[in-house]
Amino acid sequence: MLAGGLAAYTDGMEAEADRLMRERRDEPWYGEATQALQDEEAGNYDDMAELWARMAPLYFGRWDERYRPWIEKTGAGSNAAPAKAFNGGELDIRDELPQITAPTLVLAGTDDFVCGPSAADELVRGIPHARLVLLENAGHMMYVEQPEEFRNAVEEFLAR
């Protein structure tokens, strides 16, 4: 199961991210969140937990402050290693995807600005026997925003 994953950051994914960012520009949290994202992209990983707390709204399809306690409790996104790998610009494992022989479920939120439908499509094209499920009204934290739909998709896949 791959949830919110990507094999490479392509031009299509960048266009998708730009569109989703533009759609959110009127949100009250947008300025602070995009500044935090720029800080991360510039390699400022000194306090990743603080950066994550500021940019977290970007990772949800529809930000709601009720998610804040989950952000603080779990520390999700506060590990700098994935950000460093992503921002390093060298990630491209598309040639390796055909080596995955197990049936694979690929999940993505339709509003995920970093690993959304374009990223999921790339994974499904490269992995034999992959199945795609897009979760509506969900960003990167699809399992928080749409827990029932996420669980149903996983349970249905495992029941096969």
- What is the CATH number that goes with domain 2-10+92-159? 3.40.50.1820
Summarised one tens digit per residue, pLDDT across range 57-76 is 999 999 999 999 998 888 77
Summarised one tens digit per residue, pLDDT across range 18-39 is 999 999 999 999 999 999 999 9
Tell me which of 5-9, 53-57, 71-75 is least confident.
71-75
Domain boundaries, the chain: 2-10+92-159, 13-87
Strands of the chain (E only): list them. Answer: 2-3, 104-109, 130-135
Q: Average model confidence (pLDDT) for the chain?
A: 93
Which phi and psi angles does 135 have, rounded to 5°? -100, 120
